Structure 1
Amino acid sequence: MLIRLPILVLLSCSFPAFAEQAEIARLIETTISAKPIERVPPKFPLRAAKQGQEGWVKMSFVIDKQGNVVEPIIEDSSGIKGFEKAAISAIKQWKYDPAIQDGKAIEQCKSTVQLDFRLQGKVGVTGKFYRKYKKINDAIAEKNYLLAEQLLNELLDKNLWNMYENDWYWLADAIYAKATNDKERELNSVSRASNGGEKTLGNDNYLYILQRKFSLQIQHQLYAYALKTYQQMQKVKGSEELIAQYTKYANNIKALISSDEILIRKASINERGHVNHQLTRNRFQLSNVQGPLKELEIRCDNKRSRYTAAEDSIWSIPANWGKCNVFFKGAENTKFNIVELANKV
């Protein structure tokens, strides 16, 4: 089971000295992240084990002042509901020594984890999966998109995948989405296909997936995520030529984030009833809300707040709250714009 632990956060600030004094930097606030005491492993669903299924679940959660995990949110998964239920059940039993700020227990509000569900001895794809995968690829190559869609749906309905097959399925779906110019679907698929990395897809396919992911994230104004994908590319063996090509785009993103230009992301509530956005600035507002948007929750490193989703409000987040994600909740397919405004110093 692969677990990604939260990062230690240190918040510090230096003040300018008076003219007649030497400049002194003062540590005014130290935050020590929560430390795990007990992390109960999820129970592998019996039905999934019998069918040879494997999968993964990515979650965000809050660690309260007593060290309990509260309000877990499933950000994404390999698509198997049994694994999602098992992951939620397990994580609610985890215990931590709470985060400490200036000697006092505080909430740790921006924690993430991925739980992997693996069976021993499962390596590579099965012959049955390979034959279906080849038919999908052949149909896409022949531009028989109706057949390709049908075959993809048949394979998705069964969900009889191991980890390798999961990544290869979403690779095929991404290729289909690109061929049919469905950029939103392609972004979703490349994000899922990139989960296993080089081990499952091989070097060339993995670099292709990251390249498409980076490009699509920029097109969807997901700038913070695009910079993370760029960092992923840098770690892949043989990516030097690709990095040289994309460094200028990464630098352009950083310059855009630092500018006074307004950043707008078109967002839509997913089938789970929420959508997550990582802020690049500390001020934002909503516009062009189409549908029931119930509320938003801002989760920063060690602060969080919940609000009604008022379109005429501007949210200003103190810089010392650290990096922040916003979870928007509402009815599926509710559409709206997330407008990031220039930072106020």
Structure 2
Amino acid sequence: MGLMGKHLRIGLSALALAALSPLALAATPGDNPRTDPVLRDCAGMPGPRVDIRDHQEGWVDVRFTVKADGSVADAVVAGAHAAAGERLTTALSVASRCQFTPGTLKGAPADTLNQTRRVFFQMDPPDKATDFELVKRFKDVRDYLEKGAFEKAADTLDRIEGQSSNLYEISQVLSRRAALAVRQGQPVLGLMYLRQVVPNADYMAADERQALLRLRLQLELDLGLPVDAARTAALIADLGRQNGDKPLLDRLAALEKTVAGNAAFGVQGRLPQQCPADLCAGGRVEWVYRPSNRTISLANIQGSLDKVTARCQGKTYEARAEAGVSWTIPASWGDCSVAVSGQPGSSFQLVDEKLPPA
């Protein structure tokens, strides 16, 4: 396809309802004195438009603070795909121009940290064409996965990714990398890929989106992630109406019962042995958890862990990751996600605990 008349269109999208962003937030409903900001306007969106020479679509995830006056501050790149250099700078500029109705703390406008938006770099008009040869190779990947020929599947995906230029093709590659990781016994890595691709829902067919959400729900149940699983289930419009849904619903109900019936429960965590650069920005390997309660601790550490990072609406907090130390998240910090970083392949147990009233 020629590039004559083609320009790059830059669009901004909220990451879908705590969808796949590692920075999405979670807490127990009713336990949070804060409300989230609401996007009002992004000046110059869509656009600005710039000439493009590489015919390559992509995105940048931007993390920032929404100030009490609704403006954006402290924007940083949280992740990117097919984007570097000028695109990173442009994405930060685009996100920084947005205006929000501010979040609140106990009813009063307040700064809200760790907000995340995805800035898409898209051809104008959108490039929806997919080369016939790529379609054939995607089918080859599916066949290799069914036959257990994982090395051939990985090699084929590498070749496809080198030829993929639009958001649809990139999303297809990432979804198949997720399936490959699961088949190879790496569910955490598979979930990381799905967290990347599901925010691209607008660039996929409806049935593809629902299939990916079901796979994501299955992995979150396998890994014992109650908040994530509940939120993913809420995104599946026809959950309960397809073959295979009943076991998912039964497992979700069992997990919710475990959480509700115990003051403390453990979740097995593991850092991926290998993490691609587009999943682990700056080489930092993280396992991300959204707590059901407000006190967490680590136990049974195998390998080497580095930090525990709580990214909350009201604060970002880091501490050394060590066993036998409990961290209680103040209610005033609002919703939080907790990231554990360290040496690839390390494993541990995270204890999610509800403390009795003081």
Asked whether the two chains share a fold, i.e. TM above 0.5, the reply is yes
TM-score by length of 1: 0.74
What one-letter code is carried by the residue in structure 2 that aligns with 1:207?
Q
How far 1:215 sits from its partner (Å)? 1.2
> Where does residue 266 of structure 1 map in the other structure?
269
Q: 1:166/1:284 Cα in 2 relative to 1: closer, same or farther (>3 Å)?
A: same
Shift of 1:262: 1.6
Residue 169 of structure 1 corresponds to 173
Q: Which runs of 5+ in 1 are unaligned?
A: 14-28
- In structure 2, the partner of 1:127 is 132
CA distance in structure 2 between the aligned counterparts of 1:118 and 1:53, rounded to whole angstroms: 8
Please identify, of 220-229 and 256-265, the stretch whose mean Cα deviation from structure 2 is larger: 256-265
Match of 1:256 in 2: 258
Q: Any idea what the Cα deviations from partners look like across 1:142-178, whole Å, max 9, x if unmatched?
A: 544332222222233x263312112221233234334
Residues 1:108 and 2:121 are matched in the alignment: no
The equivalent of 1:216 in structure 2 is 219
Question: For the aligned residues, what is the CA RMSD?
Answer: 4.0
TM-score (norm 2): 0.72
1:332/1:63 CA distance change after superposition, 3 Å: farther
Q: Distance in 1 between matches of 2:105 and 2:257?
A: 33
Which region of structure 1 is more displaced relative to structure 2, 133-142 or 93-102? 93-102
Moved more, 319-328 or 31-40: 31-40
Residues 257 and 159 (structure 1 numbering): CA distance in 2 closer, same or farther, change over 3 Å? farther
Tell me if 1:291 matches 2:304.
Answer: yes
Deviation of the 1:108 alpha carbon: 0.6
**Corresponding residue to 2:198 among 194, 197, 200:** 194
User: Cα deviation per residue 1:19-72 (whole Å; 9 max; x = unaligned)?
Assistant: xxxxxxxxxx9756546676465978969x433322334444333457442264
Q: Does 1:118 align with 2:131?
A: no
1:25: which partner in 2?
none
Q: How far off its partner does 1:264 sit?
A: 1.8
* Cα separation, partners in 2 of 1:62 and 1:331, compared to 1, 3 Å: farther
Does structure 2 conserve the Cα–Cα contact (< 8 Å) formed by 1:62 and 1:72? no
Provide the aligned length of Structure 1 versus Structure 2.
323
Match of 2:22 in 1: none
Matched, 1:146 2:158: no
- C-alpha separation in 1, matches of 2:175 and 2:35: 40
Consecutive unaligned residues of structure 2, counting only runs of 5 or more, are 1-10, 19-27
Query: Percent identity among equivalent residues?
Result: 15
Whether the aligned pair in 2 keeps the contact of 1:300 and 1:323 (CA below 8 Å) is yes
Pair 171,124 (structure 1): closer, same or farther in 2 beyond 3 Å: farther
Q: Which moved more, 1:245-254 or 1:57-66?
A: 57-66
Counterpart in 2 of 1:22? Answer: none
Q: Is 2:50 the counterpart of 1:3?
A: no
> Is the contact made by 1:110 and 1:324 (CA closer than 8 Å) also made in structure 2?
no
Higher-RCO chain (CA-CA 8 Å, sequence separation at least 6): 2
**Structure 1's 125 and 344: CA in aligned 2 closer, same or farther, altered over 3 A?**
farther
**Offset at 1:232?**
1.4
